[in-house]
Amino acid sequence: MNHHPGAWGQTLTPHQRFDAYSSSAPSRYQPSSAGSGVVGNDHGMYDAGNEAVMAGGTGVVGHTQQPLVTGTSVLGLVFDGGVMLAADNLASYGSLARFRDIQRLIPLESSKHSSSCLAVGGDMSDFQYLQKQLETMITNERTQALGDDHPSLGPRQIYEYLSNLMYARRSKMDPLWNAMLLGGVKDGESFLGYVDLLGTTYTSPTLASGFGSHMAQPLLREAYESRQAQGKSGEREGELMSRDEAVAVLEDCMKVLYYRDARSMNKYQIATITASGVDISASKSNETEWKFAEGLRGYGPQKQ
Find the binding residues for other proteins in span 212-231 (CB under 8 A): none
Find the binding residues for other proteins in span 145-184 (CB under 8 A): 146-148
Which residue, among 196, 181, 201, 199, has the nearest Cα to 271 in the 3D structure? Answer: 181
Is 143 tagged catalytic?
no
Q: How far is the CB of 113 from other proteins (least distance, A)?
A: 11
Under the binding rule (CB under 8 A), the answer on residue 103 touching other proteins is no
Instruction: Enter the DSSP assignment of 18.
Output: B
Interacting span for other proteins (CB under 8 A) from 62-70, 135-143, 175-183, 221-229: 135-143
Inter-CA distances, 47 with 1, 33, 148, Å: 16, 17, 52
Which residue, among 111, 121, 23, has the nearest Cα to 65 in the 3D structure? Answer: 23
- DSSP SS3 for 160: helix
Interacting span for other proteins (CB under 8 A) from 139-147, 208-216, 227-235, 237-245: 139-147
Cβ proximity to other proteins: between 137 and 247 the closer is: 137
Beta bridge partners of 196: 179
Cβ proximity to other proteins: between 20 and 146 the closer is: 146
Cβ proximity to other proteins: between 50 and 131 the closer is: 131
For the chain, where are the E strands, in sequence order?
A: 69-71, 74-79, 82-88, 91-93, 96-99, 105-111, 114-123, 178-186, 189-196, 201-203, 206-208, 268-274, 277-280
Number of residues in contact with other proteins under rule CB under 8 A = 12
Check 11, 13, 58, 64 and give the catalytic one: 64
Under the binding rule (CB under 8 A), the answer on residue 109 touching other proteins is yes
Q: Cα separation of 200 and 5, whole Å?
A: 12
> Exposed, middle or buried: residue 151 (CB in 10 Å: 0-12, 13-18, 19+)?
exposed
> Which one of 136, 164, 200, 276 is in contact with other proteins (CB under 8 A)?
136
Under the binding rule (CB under 8 A), the answer on residue 144 touching other proteins is yes
Under the binding rule (CB under 8 A), the answer on residue 48 touching other proteins is no
Cβ proximity to other proteins: between 11 and 144 the closer is: 144
Q: State the catalytic residues.
A: 64
* Residues lying near other proteins in the complex (CB under 8 A): 109, 112, 132, 136, 139-140, 142-144, 146-148
